[in-house]
Structure 1
C-alpha cells in the first residue's frame, strides 16, 4: 500500500463544548456503542492502511483508554501500526484540520515512513470513505492535493504526496498557512487542487444540534444500512458485557440499545449506550443516553443528551426540543428540585 495516515484528533470544535470538557471530539460516543474516531480508523484499515498517526491534544485520557495500542483495528503491529502522537500545546488544537504546527512536532513520523502518499483526516466525520478509490482518483487527476467532498461540502479528508507534506511542514510559517484545510481553502499557489466526490452517507458532527440530529437520524434503517456496510465494518473497542435486560413493564420502540443495560421503563425514538439503568415508569422520548447513566423511577425525559455517568433522581422532568436538546454533562447529578 502507498498510503500512510494522519488523523487529526486535536481540532477545536466550539459547538461541542458541553461534550468535550473531559474528552476530545474524537472520543465522543456515537450510535450507542461507538466513538467518533472509530469511523476514521475503520475507513483507514478497510483500505489496508497500516501506518496511522493520531495527533491529539489534551484532554486525551478518554481517547487513549478507547484506542489503546490499536488492537481493535488490527493496528497493534511490530512494524508501522498505530502511533499516538500528542501535541505539547496547552491550549489544544486549532479550528481547521491538519495542523502543520502539530505535524512539525512529530516530523519523524513522516520522514521515516516508506509510504509515498498521506491521508490527512479529521475525527468528527462518520462515513464510509474508500481511500483506495480516492487515491486512484488523486493519481489520475495529477493534482497536488485532493479533497473529499460530499453533497453539503468538505468531508475534511485530504490526500497528497509525502514529499509535498514534508515540504509544507517545513515551510508553513513562511507561507503563512495553518493547516492542510487552511491551504486548500485558500488555494495557495503554486499548488493544484482537486476534489473527490463522495456519494455515500456521511455525518459531520460539529455542533450539539448536528450531533443530536445525526445521532437520531440513525434510527432510520436506511441510514444505518448506508453507514454500517457489511463489506466495510466499523470497528470499535470490544467490551464483554451481557445482553440488555428488558424487565416486566418495560416497553421499547424505534430505539438503538447497546449491551449491559437494565430497562424497566418506557423508551422510544432513543439511543441507549452500554450499562444504562432506566427505572420503573420512567419515560424517555428522543433521548441520547450515554454509558453508565442511571435514570430512576417516574422520570420524564424528552430531547435530552445525558453524557456518561449522569445520575437522574426519581421524578425528574426534563423536556427539550429537537433544535435545543438539554445537555447533561458527564457525571452530573440531577434532582427533582433542579428540574423545576
Structure 2
C-alpha cells in the first residue's frame, strides 16, 4: 500500500504587525532561537516523517528564504528524484486569501499531477513545533477520512492531510465550488467530504505578531519548552555555517541565554537570545532581548525588551527599554545613537 506523503508548505503568509521583520524577508525566513528560521521546523518535521518531496509556495520577499534553503542539502532534499521545489506566485493576486491558496497551486498544477505520492500534507510556514506525521497518516487511513486536520487544544493548526488526487480535484473545481483555500473546504458544513481532527500533544507556538514572536523566543529559554521542541529523535535541521566559538571577555556575565557561534561578549547578557556574530561591548547590559546576526552593541548600553534585526549598530551609551507587550524593534541595518534617544 502506498503510504508516501507529499509535503506542501504555504509560505505566502504576511502579517502587518510583523512588518518591521518582513521588510527584507518572508515570514518563513524570520530568524528564531539563535540559528534557525521559522520554516526549519515544519520542513524538518516533514523530512523526519519520511517525506522526500517538498513544494514551497512563496509570494513576498522570498530571496532570503531561497538563500537559506538553497538546494535543500541540509534537509537531505537535494535528490535526483523528488527533492525541494520552489513555486513562487506568478503575480500578486488579491483573490489569494487564506492558507493553501488554490489559485496559487493551480499555476503549478503539473507538479501535483506528476507526483507519485498518494497523500499530500499541506501546512503553513509559521508554526514552530516538533512531530512525526506518520501517526496522523495512520489515523487518516483508519478513519477513512477525506481530510484530516491537525489541532492543538481543539484549535486548528492549519495543517491538512488528504489524498493528492483530492487536492488536485479541489484545485481544478475551485471556480465551481467557490473554495479558495483549505479553510473554505474544512469549514463548509454542507460539504460531503469527511473531515476528521487529529490532536497534536506538545509545545506549539504560532508566530502571527511581534508579541507572539517575542513570547516564543522567551519561552525557548525555558528548559521544558526547549526539550519539547528540540528532540534527539526529531532533529531540527537548518543551514550550516562554519564559525568560530563565541569569545567571552573577562568581566562578561551570561545567565539563561541562547548564545550562537562567532559572538564577542564583553558585557552582561541575561534572559536573551543572541544570534551568530554579535558583538556586545563592555559595560553594556542586554536582558529580555533578541539580538540578530552580526549586530553590534557599543559600550555602556542598556537594552531591555528589545528586538534588533540583522546588522544593526547600537552606538555607545544608548538606552532602549521596551516591555513584554511592546518590545522595541530596530529594523535591519539601522544605526541607533545616543543622540537619537534624547
Pair in the same fold by TM > 0.5 = yes
Distance 1:158 1:112 in 2: 20
- Pair 92,237 (structure 1): closer, same or farther in 2 beyond 3 Å: farther
Distance 2:95 2:266 in 1: 43
User: SS where residue 64 of structure 2 aligns?
Assistant: helix
Q: Does 1:82 align with 2:89?
A: no
Query: Is the CA contact 2:131–2:234 (under 8 Å) kept in the aligned structure 1?
Result: no
Matches within 5 A, 1:71-150: 71-90=73-92, 94=96, 96-150=98-152
How much does 1:58 deviate? 2.5
How much does 1:142 deviate? 1.2
How much does 1:101 deviate? 1.0
- Pair 91,19 (structure 1): closer, same or farther in 2 beyond 3 Å: farther
Give the TM-score of the pair, scaled to structure 2: 0.97
- Pair 287,320 (structure 1): closer, same or farther in 2 beyond 3 Å: same
Question: 1:305 aligns to what?
Answer: 307
Question: 2:194 aligns to what?
Answer: 192
Q: Does 1:173 align with 2:162?
A: no
Query: Is the CA contact 1:58–1:92 (under 8 Å) kept in the aligned structure 2?
Result: no
Distance 2:59 2:93 in 1: 8
Distance 1:225 1:203 in 2: 14
1:68 to 62, 67, 70: 70
Count of matched residue positions in the alignment of Structure 1 and Structure 2: 340
Q: Does 1:333 align with 2:335?
A: yes
Matches within 5 A, 1:164-313: 164-187=166-189, 189-313=191-315
User: SS where residue 195 of structure 1 aligns?
Assistant: strand
Distance 2:255 2:29 in 1: 28
RMSD over equivalenced CA pairs, Å: 1.4
Question: 1:56 aligns to what?
Answer: 58
Distance 2:131 2:140 in 1: 14
Cα displacement string for residues 134-184 of structure 1 (whole angstroms, at most 9, x for unaligned residues): 111111111111110002622221101111101000111222222112322
How much does 1:319 deviate? 0.4
- Pair 133,249 (structure 1): closer, same or farther in 2 beyond 3 Å: same
How much does 1:296 deviate? 0.6
4+ residue segments displaced more than 6 Å: none
Distance 1:289 1:50 in 2: 34
Query: Is the CA contact 1:304–1:327 (under 8 Å) kept in the aligned structure 2?
Result: yes
- Pair 303,94 (structure 1): closer, same or farther in 2 beyond 3 Å: farther
- Pair 57,7 (structure 1): closer, same or farther in 2 beyond 3 Å: same
Cα displacement string for residues 94-141 of structure 1 (whole angstroms, at most 9, x for unaligned residues): 552111111001101100011111000011001012211111111111
Query: Is the CA contact 1:269–1:287 (under 8 Å) kept in the aligned structure 2?
Result: yes
